[in-house]
Chains A and B, each alone.
Chain A
Amino acid sequence: MQVSSSSILPPGNVIQAQPLFLNSSALLRRKNGVLYCTMKSTSHSHTQTATEEKQQQKSPQKIKVPPQKQMKEVSKIGADYEAVIGIETHVQLSTLTKAFCSCPYSYGAQPNTCICPVCMGLPGALPVLNSKVIECAVKLALALNCRLSFSSKFDRKQYFYPDLPKGYQISQFDIPIATGGSIDLDLPLEFGGGHRRFGITRIHMEEDAGKLMHSGNGSYSQSNHPSQVDLNRAGVPLLEIVSEPDMRTGIEASEYAAELQRVVRYLGVSNGNMQEGSLRCDVNVSVRPIGQAEFGTKVEIKNLNSFSAINRAIDFEISRQVNLHSQGQQDSIVQETRLWEEGAQKTVTMRKKEGLADYRYFPEPDLPEVVLTKAYMDSVGKSLPELPEAKRRRYEEMGLSMQDVLFLANDIAVADFFDATIQKGADVKLAANWIMGDIAAYLKNEKLSINDIKLVPHELAELIASIKSGTISGKIGKEILFELLAKGGTVKGLIEEKDLVQITDLVDIEKMVDKVIAENPKQLEQYRSGKTKLQGYFAGQVMKASKGKANPGILNKVLVEKLNAKV
Chain B
Amino acid sequence: MATRGLLLGRSFPLLLIHSSKTVKLTHGYGRRSSYSFLGESCSPCWRQNSAARFSAKALSNEEAPDVRRLAQTARISLTEQEVEDFGPKIQQVIEWFGQLQGVDLKQVEPGIRAATAAGKCFFPLSKVLDEAEEGVNLRDDVPVTFPKADAIIEGLPSYDAPYVRVPKFLHKED
Residue B103 lies at the interface, judged by CB distance under 8 Å to chain A: no
Q: Decide if B142 touches A213 in the complex (CB within 8 Å).
A: no
- The answer, among A103, A122, A227, for a CB contact under 8 Å with B145, is A103
CA distance A160 to B141 in the complex (A): 29
Residue A95 lies at the interface, judged by CB distance under 8 Å to chain B: yes
Q: Decide if A132 touches B141 in the complex (CB within 8 Å).
A: yes
Given known contacts A110-B162, A122-B152, A165 and B125 CB-to-CB distance under 8 angstroms: no
Q: Decide if B113 touches A153 in the complex (CB within 8 Å).
A: yes
Residue B132 lies at the interface, judged by CB distance under 8 Å to chain A: no
Q: Decide if A360 touches B135 in the complex (CB within 8 Å).
A: no
Residue B64 lies at the interface, judged by CB distance under 8 Å to chain A: no
Q: B4 to chain A: which residues have CB within 8 Å?
A: 361
Binds B, one of A315-323, A371-379, A426-434, A502-510: A371-379
Residue A547 lies at the interface, judged by CB distance under 8 Å to chain B: no
Contact count A vs B, C-beta below 8 Å: 191
Map CB proximity to A onto B140-174 as digits: 1 under 8 Å, 0 otherwise: 11111110010011000000101111111111110
Given known contacts A162-B166, A228-B165, A129 and B139 CB-to-CB distance under 8 angstroms: yes
Q: Decide if A375 touches B143 in the complex (CB within 8 Å).
A: no
**How near does chain B come to A350, taking the closest CB pair, in angstroms?**
9
Q: Decide if B162 touches A131 in the complex (CB within 8 Å).
A: no
Residue B21 lies at the interface, judged by CB distance under 8 Å to chain A: no
A113, A175, A222 — most chain B CB neighbours (10 Å) = A113
CA distance A379 to B124 in the complex (A): 11
Residue A482 lies at the interface, judged by CB distance under 8 Å to chain B: no
Binds B, one of A82-90, A362-370, A410-418: A362-370
- The answer, among A117, A121, A123, A130, for a CB contact under 8 Å with B141, is A130
Q: B45 to chain A: which residues have CB within 8 Å?
A: 362-363, 365
Q: Decide if B8 touches A362 in the complex (CB within 8 Å).
A: yes
Residue B129 lies at the interface, judged by CB distance under 8 Å to chain A: yes
Given known contacts A134-B138, A167-B30, A358 and B7 CB-to-CB distance under 8 angstroms: yes
Residue A102 lies at the interface, judged by CB distance under 8 Å to chain B: yes
Binds A, one of B55-63, B78-86, B93-101, B115-123: B115-123
Given known contacts A103-B146, A229-B164, A363-B114, A369 and B121 CB-to-CB distance under 8 angstroms: yes
Residue B44 lies at the interface, judged by CB distance under 8 Å to chain A: yes
Given known contacts A228-B164, A375-B126, A123 and B32 CB-to-CB distance under 8 angstroms: yes
Q: B8 to chain A: which residues have CB within 8 Å?
A: 360-362
Residues of A82-115 whose CB lies within 8 A of B? 95-97, 102-104, 110-113, 115
CA distance A362 to B30 in the complex (A): 19
Residue B27 lies at the interface, judged by CB distance under 8 Å to chain A: yes
Given known contacts A167-B32, A362-B8, A363-B114, A102 and B139 CB-to-CB distance under 8 angstroms: yes
Count of chain B residues with Cβ under 8 Å from any Cβ of A?
62
CA distance A112 to B166 in the complex (A): 14
Q: B126 to chain A: which residues have CB within 8 Å?
A: 375-376, 379-380
Residue A164 lies at the interface, judged by CB distance under 8 Å to chain B: yes
Given known contacts A366-B34, A368-B116, A135 and B124 CB-to-CB distance under 8 angstroms: yes
Count of chain A residues with Cβ under 8 Å from any Cβ of B?
73
Q: Which residue of B lies closest to A134 (CB)?
A: B124
Residues of B98-114 whose CB lies within 8 A of A? 112-114
Majority secondary structure, A binding face: loop
Given known contacts A102-B142, A123-B34, A228-B166, A371 and B121 CB-to-CB distance under 8 angstroms: yes
Q: Decide if A164 touches B29 in the complex (CB within 8 Å).
A: yes
Q: B145 to chain A: which residues have CB within 8 Å?
A: 103-104
Q: Decide if A102 touches B125 in the complex (CB within 8 Å).
A: no
Q: Decide if B142 touches A131 in the complex (CB within 8 Å).
A: no
Q: Decide if B121 touches A131 in the complex (CB within 8 Å).
A: no
Map CB proximity to B onto A223-236 as digits: 1 under 8 Å, 0 otherwise: 00111111100000
Q: Decide if B169 touches A162 in the complex (CB within 8 Å).
A: yes
Residue B73 lies at the interface, judged by CB distance under 8 Å to chain A: yes
B4, B8, B139, B152 — most chain A CB neighbours (10 Å) = B139
Q: Decide if A368 touches B32 in the complex (CB within 8 Å).
A: no
Q: Which residue of A lies closest to B135 (CB)?
A: A371
Q: Decide if A122 touches B30 in the complex (CB within 8 Å).
A: yes
Residue A161 lies at the interface, judged by CB distance under 8 Å to chain B: yes
Map CB proximity to B onto A261-291 as digits: 1 under 8 Å, 0 otherwise: 0000000000000000000000000000000
Residue A151 lies at the interface, judged by CB distance under 8 Å to chain B: yes
CA distance A138 to B122 in the complex (A): 14
CA distance A158 to B122 in the complex (A): 23
Residue B22 lies at the interface, judged by CB distance under 8 Å to chain A: no
CA distance A103 to B162 in the complex (A): 18
Given known contacts A116-B146, A365-B45, A371-B121, A130 and B138 CB-to-CB distance under 8 angstroms: yes
Q: A226 to chain B: which residues have CB within 8 Å?
A: 166
Q: A380 to chain B: which residues have CB within 8 Å?
A: 126
CA distance A366 to B27 in the complex (A): 23
Q: Decide if A152 touches B173 in the complex (CB within 8 Å).
A: no
15 A-B contacts, Cβ less than 8 Å apart?
A123-B33, A130-B140, A135-B124, A158-B73, A161-B29, A166-B30, A212-B166, A228-B166, A229-B164, A230-B164, A231-B164, A363-B49, A365-B45, A368-B121, A379-B126
> Beyond the given A160-B172, A379-B126, could you list 7 further A-B residue pairs with CB under 8 A, ordered by the A residue number?
A110-B162, A124-B34, A165-B30, A362-B8, A363-B113, A370-B122, A370-B124
User: 3 tightest CB-CB pairs across the interface, nearest first?
Assistant: A121-B30, A104-B143, A116-B146
